[in-house]
A and B are shown apart, each in its own frame.
Chain A
Amino acid sequence: MIYYSKTHEYINMINDTEGYVGISAFAAKQLGNVVYVDLPEADDEFEQGEDFGAIESVKAASDLYAPVDLEVIEVNEALADDPRLINADPMKNFIMKVEVKDASQLEELMDEAAYADFCAKEH
């Protein structure tokens, strides 16, 4: 199950407590060529809404916000070498694998359909 936040992060749950966090395809397209991802570190903990990193293109920058309370299990180091992977496939090239601290917060996020509507309105 994939959930989306209003700030365009997704969390792709792989079981009840673990998932991958990245940015949506919509956000990746808006940013353009990604040139840098400021990655968190494993074991860092973030509260819902807290910024855990940043993503930059040539002429834009955006903070990344934790969609739920979480702890970082691992980060996708490949993005440090080639941030453009995000443009290539933002779902496959997640930013970090996390442990969700409070699964009930997932209910506050949007599912795929709701997020598509949300983006259509924002554009």
Chain B
Amino acid sequence: MHRLFPHTPEDISKMLGDCGLTELSQLYVDVPQELKLKEPYKLPARMSEPEVRRFFDDLGRRNRQGMICFAGAGFYDHYTPAAALNLVGRSEFLTAYTPYQPEISQGTLQYIFEYQTMMSRLTGMEISNASMYDGATATAEAMMMAVASVRKRRRVLVSATINPAYRRVVDTYAHYHGIEVETIAEADGVTSREDLEAKLQEFSDVAAVIVPVPNYYGIVEDYTGLSELVHSNKALLVMTCVAADLAVLKTPGEWGADIACGDSQSLGIPLSYGGPYLGFICSTKALMRKMPGRVVGATHDSEGRRCFVLTLQAREQHIRREKATSNICSNQGLMTLYVSIYMSLMGAEGLREIAEHGHAAAEYLAKKMTEDGRASLRYPDKPFLNEFVLRTDYPVDTLIHAAMKSENILAGVKLNEHEILMAATEMQTREDIDRLAAVARKCN
């Protein structure tokens, strides 16, 4: 028998006998013969643990290791605390199912409640749900939530400055869900207020306006007056955010947003080639009943002890079925534990220091990359936190490949032949930046 199965041949015979059977195949008498596998799967033979390790070590060697990472575009290389990495591996957390039995799930329910609190404080919103998949799907779900909250309006306006990887997902959900998406034009790297006003004039059925914090180009846009404009047109304001940045940037709550969404990967979650990350949705309490996904609430037990339960379940897919406006069931639960631990270790001061480091490094990076006059900031007049677009005289591909080969540095995310998006965090040093700038000086 395989190490993962406890059954001895004697066990199998006994159990079959107690079921009035003699062979395992009799358990499948109801499966038509022509549907049954005629031979074993054409798959590799079983591997021992050392063999599996070796397989992944071999694969791992095909990845470039230990790169200094100036790539961002929504996902950032941050410090991942050992305590957070370790604690999410606690098997009581890791191997539990959704906390449908609150009596034996207070651990899970408690950390989700902590997470909801921390996210609402970080975003400046009143409430948070218990997580979405990633920032892109969270933004798409926020769109559907807004449409479900506003009667008989099925159009959303999306700023041209949101992350295009998010926009693709928003467009996909909108297409199949029957929502019209209009783009608010960009003017010098930011959302055009003029175009937004024009579109709000043109369309009387706008349910929501979606804008980014910060935007895809790293620019921190000034949304003064935006919520008044959107609300006077009876639409909702949705902000899609990089979570960690809200420790220092004006929050969706302060801007007057109705829904804040985005990705919390920036709260110290390993990059891990795309996931698991952590989508979030926070909102005003007024929209609580339209919130997708799970929500944990506080209550008391029969002996008066404070405890936590999944609540507002009547909103959810398993009850609403075909009336549901979201189908999310499994979410990214364990990652809410990760960021709760992360934020508990960091505190507000730690998040601020991280933002300062990122900003100082990004400013130094911008200065060094433009020093020789062969590259310039694409939007020099716009404020950025830790990411910016660099326009280069030399091909971006040359820079990316040279930096990778000679310095093991990932220079950024290519936007087009002569524009690259570059980000800095607390993980890169002055020396790393000097090395990258030196590579750039040699690019042609």
Contact = CB atoms under 8 A, between A and B. Distances in A.
Interface of A: 35-36, 38, 56-61, 63
Contacts of A61: 314-315, 319-320, 323
Contacts of A38: 289
Given A35-B314, A56-B289, A58-B313, 5 more contacts: A57-B314, A58-B314, A59-B314, A60-B314, A61-B315
Interface string B310-330: 000111000110010000000
Interface in B1-57: none
* B interface, over-half SS: helix
A36 B323 contact: no
* A interface, over-half SS: strand
Nearest to B324: A61
Contacts of B315: 56, 61
Give the interface size bracket for B toward A.
Answer: under 10
B106 to A, nearest CB: 19
A59 B289 contact: no
A58 B314 CA distance: 7
A88 B320 CA distance: 25
Contacts, number: 21
B319 A60 contact: yes
B109 to A, nearest CB: 16
B289 A36 contact: yes
B298 to A, nearest CB: 15
Contacts of A59: 313-314, 319
A58 B98 CA distance: 17
A73 B314 CA distance: 28
Nearest to A35: B314
Name, among B289, B314, B320, B323, the residue most crowded by chain A CB atoms within 10 Å (CB to CB): B314
A56 B315 CA distance: 8
A56 B323 contact: no
Contacts of B289: 36, 38, 56
Nearest to B309: A58
10 contacts: A36-B314, A38-B289, A56-B289, A56-B314, A59-B313, A59-B314, A59-B319, A60-B319, A61-B315, A61-B320
B263 to A, nearest CB: 30
Interface in B304-350: 313-315, 319-320, 323
A60 B323 CA distance: 12
Contacts of A56: 289, 314-315
